[in-house]
Amino acid sequence: MTTSLVPAPVRARWLAVSSLAVGTFTLVTSEMLPVGLLTSIAADLGVSAGTAGLTMTAPGLVAAVSAPVLTIATRRLDRRTVLLGLMALLAVANLAAALAPGYAVMLAARVLTGVSIGGFWAFAAGLGTRLAPERHVGRATSIILSGVSVASVLGVPAATFVSSFAGWRTAFAAMGVLALALLALLAATVPPLPGEAHGARAGRLSGTLKVALLLTVLIVSGHFSAYTYVRPFLEQVAHAGPALVSTALLVYGAAGVLGNFAAGARAARNPQPVLITLAALMALATAALPLIGLPLPALVVWGLGYGGVGVTLQLWIMREGGGELGTALFVAAFNVSIALGAFAGGRIVDGVSISAVMWAGAALSVLVAAVAGMWGRSRTTGS
């Protein structure tokens, strides 16, 4: 019998890739924790749901700034050292949030979360080229970035599930402990990755790359304007109890994982039509939620749609050859859009109604599909 063995150095590199994927999952899950815990956080800290939504806005804005700033400021430092420092910062931020005696401390902890998110994501996204053989760079990059997509669809349901039994503070504490464990894992698996003396590769900002960044802002803002307040919507409009809320978000998460891998396989060939389809699914789902009594079918469609957005946009950015700067700008656009969406949704919730945020999300998704479609026609006709 013949046994095929993978050389130890190769295994070590793929372990590093897997560790980075868990890292991106941990960071993005930490960023989105308040989505499923918003009602509890608001009640415990004595603020409105809209004000509590700023715990989503703050890390998004800070991450948007820290991504390009840290990319430039730490260009000469070993990437491994920077990643370890950012993961340690995340652990401190999550544990501080779990122990926060008031809203001000909570918001400060979320600012630290934003610094960690922006820097870690921007660096990790480009390390596939340094950790994998050339023929496997695409696969390695997809694995690293899958942590972002999976966190987007599973992080909130998992946190909601934990909080339903042990409270929202336990959910933050659990993420702090996970960050500490991951810190040790990264230290053991990621090799030294010296910074480049000549600085970060800028890449080129093509017209298509700029369109992709614009679409990132539109679709992610639309999603988070609605999704940040999905739990209050389910409780107040659909009259769902804690068990149904947890079930609904888990169903959404499962659908999102399917959407992530289904979209990723197709977007590697041509991301534009995939994004149009995903935006259409999201528009259909968010428009249907205020109109139907049963939220589960709409949440399945929503999960299928948004689950593929992150990987599709990331592949589009990579296809355009934007380099490290393009990746940093994508991270910045994605995170500032989370902040804008959460902020706009909070204003709509406090000023109009909880159902109105769903219509806002649907409108922006329709706009994304229209812009992506028109851009495709203009490129085909050469206009």
Three-state SS string over the chain comes to: CCCCCCCHHHHHHHHHHHHHHHHHHHHHHHHHHHHHHHHHHHHHHCCCHHHHCHHHHHHHHHHHHHHHHHHHHCCCCCHHHHHHHHHHHHHHHHHHHHCCCCHHHHHHHHHHHHHHHHHHHHHHCCCHHHHCCHHHHHHHHHHHHHHHHHHHHHHHHHHHHHHHHHCHHHHHHHHHHHHHHHHHHHHHHCCCCCCCCCCCCCCCCCHHHHHHHHHHHHHHHHHHHHHCCHHHHHHHCCCCCHHHHHHHHHHHHHHHHHHHHHHHHHHCCCHHHHHHHHHHHHHHHHHHCCCCCCCHHHHHHHHHHHHCHHHHHHHHHHHCCCHHHHHHHHHHHHHHHHHHHHHHHHHHHHHCCCCHHHHHHHHHHHHHHHHHHHHHHHHHHCC
Type of residue at 220: V
**Range ranked top by mean pLDDT from 158-167, 232-241, 283-292:** 283-292
Q: At what angle do helices 103-124 and 79-98 cross, to 10 degrees?
A: 160
Predicted local confidence at residue 363, as pLDDT: 92
Q: What is the mean pLDDT of the chain?
A: 82
Q: How is domain 202-377 classified at the architecture level of CATH?
A: Up-down Bundle (1.20)
The answer for residues whose C-beta is within 8 angstroms of residue 173's C-beta and 6 or more apart is 94, 95, 98
CB contact at 8 A, 221 and 341:
yes
Higher-pLDDT residue of 323 and 66 is 66
Predicted local confidence at residue 202, as pLDDT: 46
**Is residue 276 scored above 90 in pLDDT?**
yes
Place of tokens 């389910």: 234
Segment 210-236 mean pLDDT = 88
CA distance 128 to 140: 5
Domains 13-199 and 202-377 share a fold: yes
Higher-pLDDT residue of 218 and 251 is 218
Higher-pLDDT residue of 378 and 136 is 136
pLDDT tens sequence across 340-365: 888 888 888 888 888 888 999 899 99
Q: Which of 58, 95, 55, 59 is nearest to 178 (CA)?
A: 95
pLDDT tens sequence across 241-266: 777 887 888 888 888 888 887 887 78
Share of the chain above pLDDT 70, in %: 88
| Cα→Cα distances 194→67, 84, 190, 244, 264, Å | 19, 14, 12, 49, 30
CA distance 38 to 35: 6
CA distance 149 to 21: 10
Predicted local confidence at residue 9, as pLDDT: 61
**Which CB contacts under 8 angstroms, 24+ apart, belong to 136-144?**
138/268, 140/14, 140/17, 141/318, 142/264, 142/268, 142/311, 143/17, 143/18, 143/21, 144/17, 144/20, 144/21, 144/24
Q: Tell me the domain boundaries of the chain.
A: 13-199, 202-377
**Is residue 200 scored above 60 in pLDDT?**
no
Segment 284-301 mean pLDDT = 86
- On whether the 13-199 domain is CATH 1.20.1250.20, my answer is yes
